[in-house]
Chain A
Amino acid sequence: MAGAAPRVDCLAGFRCSTGGLAAGRPCVLALGAEVFLSTGSELVYVYDREARRPRAVYEFPGQVWHLELLTPRRALCVLCARKGVYCAPLDTPSRSVSQANGASKDDAPPSGVIPVGPDACILPDAALCAFTLLDNMLVTVAQGPATWKIQLFKRPCLGQDLRPAAQIGEVVFPTGAPLAGGPEEPPAPHFFPVLCYVSPPNSRAPHSRLQGPGGFTLQGVLFGLLFGADAALLESPVVLCGFPDGQLCCVVIKTLVNSWAAPGDPRALVRILHHLEEPIVFIGALRTEPWAPEAVGQELPGKDTHADCLVALGHHGRTLAIKAIEDEVGNLVPELREYRLPGPMLCAACGGGGRIYHSTPWDLCVVDLAQGIAPEGAMQPGLPPILCPAGLSICSVVALSVSPGIAKEDTELLVLSARGRLMACNLALDPTAACPARMTAAQAGRKIKDLLSGIGSISERVFSLKKAVDQRNQALMCLHEALDVSCALLSHQSSSPSRCSITTTWSRQLCNELMATCQLVNRGTHSLGPGWAWCIQVVAYARAFELDAAGTTTTYTVPVQQLAPGAQREVTLSLGFGEDGVPELPVTISCALFYSLREVMGGAFTPLGATEDPLCQALPLDLLPTRDGICLPLGMHTVGLLQCLRFPGLAVPGTQAARLTMLPTDPVDTFLRACHQQGSVLVGPATLRAKYLSPSVASIQVSAELLRAALDDACTGVPLCCATLWWLLAENAAVDVLRARALSSVQGVTPDGVDILLTVHEASRSLSSCSGVQQVVHQV
């Protein structure tokens, strides 16, 4: 288990392409305080951790696929996609500019982009798909038609004129059969061979100790068992290749010669160690056995620090570990063990103490291959029977680099997230974890405390994650329902799931105001829940006939908190828009249901812990559509004059008083108003008009036949005039009273308080046989 939770330090963010970094081949390399990093684009950044900013940026002519450092001479070796291997010196920025460019860019700022030209290409080959640097050699893998070609080059010298790397060996061997998945689907092209070189234990060659991430020194026993006596005798480095077809091969470097000199049998030169049956994404080596303290100081002090276990990881999580063990007879045999880790693997790295760090899109995990080893077991303890990955709660890591931390036992991971964020992750490993046998009570107590706090923080995290999941589920459900409702509404089905009806009434309590009552009925099967809002837009067209006078628009938004199927909701609005509360008719009322995505999804995407959960950050609210909702029109209703007529004469007793609606509750006020009315009879223009102007009369003649035909069903047994009047006032609140009395003429009051007489009568004196005349008398 990993000790305490990692301390994560976000160093910098780098630009990444739209597909995220996982689409390219990002790399991270740490060298002292410098971090070399490529995000899969053409750029290689040199990040200075002390200054906490990028120190230089190199621009290569193609997408960077792989990155290695020539440590003694400080140069950057880069594989550019479909171009070849480039080598750029890494000196002081100004010098590197002059060297890499050769042009007059010496005065470029140090932080500027340093272009690396085609002259820096040491190995032009469009088919190259991987390389690694050995002491003084360059091993490359190129893909041919159904073949892999492993080539060995003498590493070119920097400084003087760059010459193409001289080839010193090559071998071509066939690719393995494509992995299962049917012949029709070609193997995923985004997998590339991975290379790793293994040095023999007591090699006399002056190895540069600062090996790249792909280099390991292997324990002698395992080296001999895996690669044979020749490699062991020659003390030859061995290159391990893991191919996308699942083959794990080894090539003994010293046996590789140019094929024109002495062509060898590729099957003898390239030996298949294993077939993982899924694309190999990582090869590494580990030290699983603890460094025996008594071995330190003996005649072979360095011997026991070599790696004693070789691991290979497949894309889908299949993991191979090879270790030398003694069989029953006492012979040393290689033990191969396959494990299944949760995939897909994005990247991996080997750390100290038998740990493999591997990254999946969901978490960065660590497994410990040393965990199964009992302290006083056999001489060659075997591999653990099962691996338990422990999560570090960092997800979507696409590139990984392990380096020893500041403290001796610590491990520092430099990770690059899929969104281009470079993070330093310090894993303070409890030193007591390494040797649990020798633990004092105090240590144990502290350990338990740590564990408990670890459990606490994990459970907290679990809780918050669970909450997030619930929220998302909820949002999904809401979305689903919303979609159902929308479909039903938009398809104009006869049984519309929601309906809105509008009636207008004159308010009795308030000061003689026209009120519209909107009623929303949910007839669907789903309840309208949070996120739904009921929008009522009221547009008054009173002065619409006036030029450039837009109607007054008022929108009311009523949240539909919860409207179960069959339930209904009513909203009453005032339609009094005018200065004096007199409505400006006609008024159009449109109703719509609005579904707010933001309200529903917003909660689900709220970052939980912004710093430690990049996945949550990966979906910012900005990604939601700019039109942040769905608007579903329910219907439109126009309120005209006819609807708003009041008929005091028809009113049932009790409502009679509404005729004079200025009936304030306060008696003093009533008195004052009465006085005012009487005293100012001659003052108002309306009164003047009423006094001196004759009433205006308007009449419309309509053919009685037509009317009869139109009102066919309504006027059976009723005089046509009555039926016409009913029809005219069909939407008025007084229509029922009207119907009861069978009137053909009615006296009413308009909303602005003007008396009106509606009369319908039949006449036969017109030009044609028009027999129905409907008179509307507007009396002032």
Chain B
Amino acid sequence: MSQTPLDSPSPRASCLDLWREKNDLLVRQAKVTQDSGLLLRQQHLAQDALQGFRELLHSLRGLPAAISALPLELTVICNFITLKVSHTQGFTEDQAQDIQQGLERVLEAQEQLGPRLECGLRELWDSVLHISSLLPELLPALHHLAGLQAALWLSTDRLGDLALLLQSLNGSQSGASEDLLLLLKTWSPPVEESDAPLTLQDARGLRDVLLTASALCQGLQELITGTLPRALSSLQEAASGLCSRPVLVQVYTALGTCLRKMGNPQRALLYLVAALKGGSVWGPPLLEASRLYRQLGDTAAELESLELLVDALSVTQNSETPQLLIEVELLLPQPNPDSPLYCGTQSQAKHLLASRCLQTGRAEDAAEHYLDLLALLLDGLEPRFSPLPCPPGPCMPEVFLEAAAALIQANRAQDALTVCEELLIRTSSLLPKMPWSWEDARNGAKEPINCPLWVSATYLLQGQAWVKMGDQKEAVSEFSRCLELLFRATPEDREQGAASNSDQRCRPDVALQQLRLAALISRGLVWVASGQDTKALQDFLLSVQICPGNRDASFHLLQTLRRLDRRNEATAFWWRLEAQTELPPEDATWSLPLYLETCLSWIHPLDQETLLEEFRTSLLETSDL
């Protein structure tokens, strides 16, 4: 066995010693850099250190691979990868190549490289670990490199490879245990010698980070797939590990979600409170709290948490000085909208708050929040305030429409008209029709294909606003414009509606049908109010034809028939209506846009059941006669 120069006590100035000193110097510099306050300066220094490591590695690779030099070389590779990943905040393909080169150098030193050149990283690790059992001096550095490989595979979601690697590291037989957490816990990287070259982050520290990260990832995954008890245990494992405050907030939030879904709201609340106390990241726990209160039915608390969420998201996150280490955050996947850790942007939160207010009947608050939201989106000079609600949320015209609906609901018809006018002005260039066929099919963007829908909805809302303001003439003309547009748009939208059937949110053809219904009934109601029952009757008849099973339309028709004293028709219609009620209600899996639901709520007759009952008795009386 060759005696490594590193072991020799006398400070000989060989190349290896010089390079080792350079490595130690760079590590010390990087650690000092980490503490300096200035972010820019830090970035420059990190770039310089990276360059230094790169050059050092270049020098080391200039020599033929030798066991004596390999510990240093592997350590430099580890330091380089650590710094690079923390600097660029993520793993790339380059790191895999760096690791592969390191492994190939180990094999080269043992002259065993030849036939293995074309094999993958997995196989490389197998052969390297097989050899290294004979080379104890290489083990610490190899375990360190293996830790980085594990981090890389964890971040790229190659868990199978990761488990196999850990098994090899633990020296256990393959197939012994597939539990990643268990494998990580049993893995104990050998302690580095005190005189080994310095490292930025040692293997044990890396192991702890890996353990927390994989527990959290696993827990989140199980939470989404719905295996709640396992998720709970994984998340608790993550919480018991070593983690920074922001990570702890995430773990607690996920625990809160998990417990809420398991029907444990009180315990969930405890975790959320702990999360809020814990850190500077308040978004996810507040959003989770609002979901929790919503589930509990505590609307006031729900809205309060949403308000707090809006405030919390308005605070710019100070980009905290990144540590030059591989941390748990780096290994977590980006939260997608399904994740409990996703909290969106401020405008998304504001929209959620406003729409919840509207849904829960707090029209005044909703109106205020919608106006705030529009101001935020439109006048936002600071762009951080003005991101659009992303694709899961409604698109901009719908936000405008919801705002107008909320204003009408809050008896602020004049403001609603202003909002509607604004919407019309801004989309006027896209009217009367906007064919969105050219490019949409190609890039798959869900760009709304329903511009006529929005415009007619705008007319509908304008009409409703005029109704509120008592101007029936204006109202009728707006409703008529709305209907004209709606009926003109038919054939085109039918096709498009059929094409986008997969859309979960709302099928445009259903929305179109409901809009027509709402417009017809609204106009009919105006006719009724102005005493023109015949005209009203036409509209109600049409609405029943469009939507045969709709109870609102039927009821309005029935009432008008009765008012016009067309008893026979009313009776006939009533019988048909009675027959329909026997049928199960239509499957309403689709959800309508909020503005449309609000509109439909306005044409909903208030005392439907009593009137129906009254009608039934009077009808029975007449039939008895």
| A232–B344 CB distance below 8 A | no
Note all chain A residues with C-beta closer than 8 A to B430: 221, 224-225, 229, 232, 332
Q: A282-297 CB contact bits vs B (8 Å, 1 = yes)?
A: 0000000000000000
Note all chain B residues with C-beta closer than 8 A to A152: 383
Asked if A126 meets B93 with Cβ closer than 8 Å, knowing A163-B40, A229-B448, the reply is no
Whether a CB of chain B sits under 8 angstroms from the CB of A271 is: yes
A639 to B232, CA, bound (A): 114
A618 to B489, CA, bound (A): 64
Whether a CB of chain A sits under 8 angstroms from the CB of B384 is: yes
Note all chain B residues with C-beta closer than 8 A to A272: 439, 442-443
A138-195 with Cβ < 8 A to chain B: 144-145, 152, 154, 162-164, 166-169
B27-68 with Cβ < 8 A to chain A: 39-40, 43-44, 47
Whether a CB of chain A sits under 8 angstroms from the CB of B160 is: no
User: Which residue of chain A has the shortest Cβ distance to B440 in the bound complex?
Assistant: A271
Note all chain B residues with C-beta closer than 8 A to A118: 44
Asked if A137 meets B383 with Cβ closer than 8 Å, knowing A121-B40, A234-B396, the reply is yes
Note all chain A residues with C-beta closer than 8 A to B344: 261-262
Note all chain B residues with C-beta closer than 8 A to A154: 382-384
**Per a CB cutoff under 8 Å, which of B343, B395, B439 touches A271?**
B439
**Per a CB cutoff under 8 Å, which of B44, B427, B435, B444 touches A224?**
B427
A228 to B427, CA, bound (A): 10
- Nearest CB of chain A from residue B14's CB, rounded to whole Å: 33
| B438–A262 CB distance below 8 A | no
A334 to B267, CA, bound (A): 57
Stretch at the interface among A249-257, A413-421, A449-457: A249-257
**Per a CB cutoff under 8 Å, which of A145, A167, A234, A271 touches B386?**
A234
Asked if A220 meets B47 with Cβ closer than 8 Å, knowing A229-B448, A256-B387, the reply is no
Q: Interface on chain A toward B: helix, strand, loop, or mixed SS?
A: mixed
Asked if A232 meets B427 with Cβ closer than 8 Å, knowing A164-B39, A168-B384, A262-B387, the reply is yes
Whether a CB of chain B sits under 8 angstroms from the CB of A233 is: yes
| B388–A230 CB distance below 8 A | yes
| A228–B429 CB distance below 8 A | no
User: Which residue of chain A has the shortest Cβ distance to B381 in the bound complex?
Assistant: A205
Note all chain A residues with C-beta closer than 8 A to B93: 145
B330-374 with Cβ < 8 A to chain A: 334-337, 342-345, 348
| B40–A230 CB distance below 8 A | no
| B348–A262 CB distance below 8 A | yes
| B336–A263 CB distance below 8 A | yes
Whether a CB of chain B sits under 8 angstroms from the CB of A20 is: no
| B448–A234 CB distance below 8 A | no
Note all chain A residues with C-beta closer than 8 A to B446: 268
Whether a CB of chain A sits under 8 angstroms from the CB of B11 is: no
- Nearest CB of chain A from residue B26's CB, rounded to whole Å: 18
A223 to B427, CA, bound (A): 11
Whether a CB of chain B sits under 8 angstroms from the CB of A584 is: no
A252 to B429, CA, bound (A): 18
Note all chain B residues with C-beta closer than 8 A to A205: 379, 381
User: Which residue of chain A has the shortest Cβ distance to B431 in the bound complex?
Assistant: A332
| B429–A332 CB distance below 8 A | yes
| A331–B383 CB distance below 8 A | no
Whether a CB of chain B sits under 8 angstroms from the CB of A265 is: yes
| A255–B381 CB distance below 8 A | no
User: Which residue of chain B has the shortest Cβ distance to A221 in the bound complex?
Assistant: B429
**Per a CB cutoff under 8 Å, which of B40, B334, B423 touches A233?**
B423
| A255–B387 CB distance below 8 A | yes
| Residue from A164, A261, A262, A263 whose CB has the most chain B CB atoms within 10 Å | A262
User: Chain A interface (Cβ within 8 Å of chain B)?
Assistant: 118-119, 121-122, 124, 126, 135-137, 144-145, 152, 154, 162-164, 166-169, 204-206, 220-221, 223-225, 228-230, 232-236, 252-257, 259-265, 267-268, 271-273, 329-334
Contacts A256-B383, A333-B435 given; 17 further ones with Cβ under 8 A? A122-B40, A163-B39, A168-B384, A224-B434, A228-B447, A229-B434, A229-B447, A233-B426, A234-B377, A234-B386, A253-B383, A254-B377, A254-B388, A257-B345, A259-B334, A332-B429, A332-B434
User: Chain B interface (Cβ within 8 Å of chain A)?
Assistant: 39-40, 43-44, 47, 92-94, 313, 316, 319, 334-337, 342-345, 348, 377-384, 386-388, 390-391, 395-397, 400, 423, 426-430, 432-435, 438-439, 442-448, 451, 454
The 8 closest A-B pairs by CB, nearest first: A257-B387, A233-B396, A220-B429, A221-B429, A224-B430, A230-B396, A255-B388, A264-B390
